[in-house]
Amino acid sequence: MSHHAHPLLRLDLQRWRMRLTLALLFAGFAALSARAVYLQVWQSEFLSDQGEKRAQRVEPIPAYRGVITDRRGEPLAVSTPVETIWVNPREAAASPAQIQALANILGRDPDQIARLFADKSRAFAYLERLVEPAKARQIMALGIPGVHGKPAFRRYYPAGEVTAHVLGITNIEDQGQEGIELAYQSWLTGEAGAQRVVKDRPGNVVEVLERIKPPKPGRDLALSLNQHIQYLAYRELSDAVRQHQARAGSVIVLDARTGEILALANSPSFNPNSRATYVPDRLRNRAITDAFEPGSTMKPLFVAAALEAGVVRPDTPIDTGPGWFLLGDKRITDTHPKGLMTVARSIQVSSNVAVAKIALEMRGEDYWRLLTRAGFGAQPKSGMPGEASGRLRPYSSWRPIEKATMSYGHGISVSLLQLAHAYTAFANAGVMPQLTSLRREGAAPGTRVMSAETANQMLAMLELVTENGGTAPTARVDGYRVAGKTGTAHKLIKGSYDSRTYVSSFVGLAPASDPRLVVAVVIDEPGGRDYYGGLVAAPVFSRVMSGALRFMAIPPDAPFDIERKPVDRANIVAEAV
């Protein structure tokens, strides 16, 4: 009989299938129940920990970088909160309208952003770093999945290009790269903290559970700068560079007693708040990194060495003859013949012939020793990075012609900071205070460069330079006695002196009766009709010194000339180059 033909047999088969199905279902439920019991009882701690790991994160808390202030507490560099916007392309999903809105906020090409979102091979990419908080809020308000924000800090410099070379800059990671920011990186930088947070699936912070470690802000730093004098120095220097169509210029103001740098400016400069202005040539702190042949500004130091050695006195007569003489096959000249003159007069009119003849009568060792004590050939150690040592060769290698030319600043190279520092010896009875870029508390350690008698004699000679008949009447400051020295030198280019390019400089002190400030100015390659230090650099000195003396409320030591007239060019002695 066929199985299909018997109805009872067909019924038994259906019951068997039903029982099998029910058994399988019960077995499945039993397995699931056993698994659930196993997970909830024996694996509950492990699963709870894993769940928290997928919802909880430990995130860094950025630390605030220390504030840099001037000597009076005015802020020069501060940190402001910003956001870094990033995206996880694997999670990102944005409509064309959202991409266009994001591009409008960031000022970017929407196609570029669309390609970034479409690259699913990456799990992280920056959209924009260091975004202003208001702009960051606009971006997050778009609600684009996969787009996240991370808090950070960005450095802001209120004075901009005025203090740029002193302060330097930080990079996008807020690490010092130039200037004080680099030199005091370990002091200024903070220590990041940490916090435990709960995040949702898109990565947004839902809750801050605990602060594991609070951030430790960086320490504040008070500089020796006086922001008002810094503004003044930068303004006057920039005007002079433009007026004389110069390649560049620098100015330094020192407190002659404490060695503090009250102002240091360069032109051209850059805006540290705008990375678009970060051009290598503008970033260079020329006042401390560039070495140049100083020309006649070295004559006072040479004559001081001659006085110390007992070779001459201020009233010793020197016969300069027709204004030139031959040394071997080299001709040493003055701009105009002066005949017989005293050592003091040779400083006033800046005679190359006179100082060269003195050099031939003294030992090179005496000049070298004084220059070494004054810091030439070594870094000034002001606390700023990139200081040039300059070039001062051992005296044993000097030939007679080199002894002669070094007496008027050729064959030696110095930075403007070294030169300004050396002149503080004339202000402090022969003692040169240690330099600093930080606000100094208490007395400054110093180095004796020359005797008090020599320093006072030189100060009197330097005062003659700013009188009629000297090379720098334009350096005078109404109400104050001023002492100083001009310098005009041909530039050394590719191993030879270029007769058409000059470096013009002036270094001076005031009040001459009791010097408080030293101001040094250098103008590189003036391009107008004037190139003498007395016509290019000395007027900048006068304006900067005048303002600085008044800012510091230093009492006048000379009568005021109410009807003071501009200095007649005829009263300015042309300087030998």
Integer CA distances (angstroms), 275 to 36, 184, 230, 279, 280, in order = 60, 21, 22, 9, 12
Residue type, 224: S
Cα separation, 483 vs 500, whole angstroms? 29
Cα separation, 294 vs 297, whole angstroms? 6
* Bridge partner list, 490: 502
Judge whether 36 and 176 are in contact, CB under 8 Å.
Answer: no
Cα separation, 232 vs 228, whole angstroms? 6
Residue with tokens 């006195």: 313
Cα separation, 538 vs 235, whole angstroms? 15
Distance of CA 143 to the CA centre of its chain: 42
* Bridge partner list, 414: 292
Question: Which regions of 125-215 does DSSP assign to beta strands (E)?
Answer: 125-131, 147-156, 193-199, 205-213
3-state secondary structure of 263: strand
Residue type, 148: H
Distance of CA 200 to the CA centre of its chain: 44
Cα separation, 3 vs 10, whole angstroms? 7
Cα separation, 428 vs 195, whole angstroms? 56
CA quadruple 431, 437, 438, 440: dihedral, nearest 10 = 10
Q: Which residues contact 202 (CB under 8 A, 6 or more apart)?
A: 91, 145, 146
Burial 179-217 (b: 16+ CB within 10 A, else e): bbbbbbbeebbbeebebebebeeeeeeeeeeeeeeebeb
Judge whether 425 and 522 are in contact, CB under 8 Å.
Answer: no
Distance of CA 13 to the CA centre of its chain: 95
Cis preceding linkage at 217, omega within 30: no
Catalytic residue list:
296
* Bridge partner list, 504: 488, 523
Burial 424-435 (b: 16+ CB within 10 A, else e): bbbbbebbbbbb
- The conformation of residue 577, written as its DSSP 8-state character, comes to -
Cis preceding linkage at 268, omega within 30: yes
Cα separation, 245 vs 522, whole angstroms? 14
